[in-house]
Amino acid sequence: MRRGSREYASWSIGIALVLAFALVPVLWILSLSLKTPESVTDGSFIPHHWTFDNYNALFQGGFSNGPFLHPLVNSIAIALIATAIAITFAAFAAYAIARLDFPGKTAILAGALAIAMFPAISTVGPLFDMWRSIGLYNTYLGLIIPYLTFSLPLAIYVLVAFYREIPWDLEQAAQVDGATPLQAFRKVILPLAAPGTFTAAILVFIFCWNDFLFAITLTSSNASRTVPAALAFFTGPSQFTAPTGNIAAAAVIITIPIIIFVMIFQRRIVAGLTAGAVKG
């Protein structure tokens, strides 16, 4: 009993340290976003003068003239579209890799892994040239395509791991019960792989949401610029003030969708959904 409580205490301390390490910077950003431009550098954790000016400034000018609203919509749209496409393709690809025997299967997996490891920076220059000559520069599609390239391998890897956990017998049972392969996939495999699908979706969404490199290189205006890139173009109230408060406010705002996204889906990402399928 005493050993148990001591263990409990040491775990609690450890977890508290990790939480502090992860959360203090976020809280600091939150604190910065609520400070007036004069007190940004005062070093106090809790703002002396609370203000929402930084937030108001972001939305001034609305959709067409403001610095933030249009990029925010771009970010949401591009990340959602890329996630949807990536998960759809990855679901089929991962199913084939996990279940079917076909020549070149290992080559595909190895290729996917190689692409995921590929330094994105080395593709940026060629993409910039190509996109400009074929008209994809500064478009949604121009960002979605490279996002797919890098997120598909990730999604496929996650989904293959989940599909492999699903007992093959279930699918065969469905086939004997009269299901076509597609019906078996849709009615048995997909519902059971839901936690994996949501995990992959969240990872892909965060990847697209956070990307700065492609967003800054392949866009030129708010027509398709996403928030991480737009932040770099923020200006202060005068040319002598850094837009620290505005950037902090924007950072807080773009963190919110991620938190919502994860909160909605975390309940689906519970293990044990397949409990009871098979014995043992």
Partner 1 sequence: MSEIVLDGISKRFDDGYEAVKDMNLDVNDGEFMILVGPSGCGKSTALRMIAGLEDITSGELRIGDQVVNQIAPKDRDIAMVFQNYALYPHMTVRENMAFPLKLAKAPQEEVDSKVIEAARILDLEPHLDRRPANLSGGQRQRVAMGRAIVRDPKAFLMDEPLSNLDAKLRVQMRTEVARIQSRLGTTTVYVTHDQTEAMTLGDRVAVMRAGMLQQVGRPSELYANPANLFVAGFIGSPAMNFMPATVSGDVVRLPLGEVRLDLSRRPSQADGRDVIAGIRPEAFEDASLLAADARERGMTFRTKIDLVESLGAEQYAYFQVEAGQLEAEELRELAEDAGAAEVPSSGEGQVVARISAESRIDRGDEAELWVDPTRLHFFDPANGQSLLARD
Residue 172 or 235 having the CB closest to partner 1: 172
Note whether 180 binds partner 1 by CB under 8 A.
yes
Q: What distance in Å separates the CA atoms of residue 257 and residue 154, rounded to the nearest whole number?
A: 21
Write the DSSP assignment of 80-112 as a string of letters.
HHHHHHHHHHHHHHHHHHHH---TTHHHHHHHH
Pick the piece of the chain touching partner 1 (CB under 8 A) from 69-77, 108-116, 173-181, 248-256: 173-181
Note whether 148 binds partner 1 by CB under 8 A.
no
CB of 183 to partner 1, least distance (A): 7
**Count of CA atoms in the C-beta half-sphere (13 A) of 245:** 22
Q: Quick check: 249 and 55 in contact, CB under 8 A?
A: yes
Residue 115 or 170 having the CB closest to partner 1: 170
Figure out which of the listed residues 145, 179, 251, 253 binds partner 1, where binding follows CB under 8 A.
179
Q: What distance in Å separates the CA atoms of residue 239 and residue 234, rounded to the nearest whole number?
A: 11
Figure out which of the listed residues 136, 174, 204, 247 binds partner 1, where binding follows CB under 8 A.
174
Note whether 98 binds partner 1 by CB under 8 A.
no
Write the interaction track for partner 1 spanning residues 214-253; mark x where CB under 8 A is met and - where it is not.
----------------------------------------
Report residue 168 CA to chain centroid gap.
30
Figure out which of the listed residues 9, 50, 169, 266 binds partner 1, where binding follows CB under 8 A.
169
Cα–Cα distances (Å) from 133 to 43, 130, 138, 145, 217, in that order, read 49, 5, 12, 16, 15
Write the DSSP assignment of 175-240 as a string of letters.
HHTT--HHHHIIIIIHHHTHHHHHHHHHHHHHHHHH--HHHHHS--STTT--HHHHHTT---SSTT
CB of 91 to partner 1, least distance (A): 17
Figure out which of the listed residues 175, 210, 241, 255 binds partner 1, where binding follows CB under 8 A.
175
Binding residues for partner 1 (CB under 8 A) = 101, 167, 169-170, 172-180, 183, 187-188, 191-192, 273-280
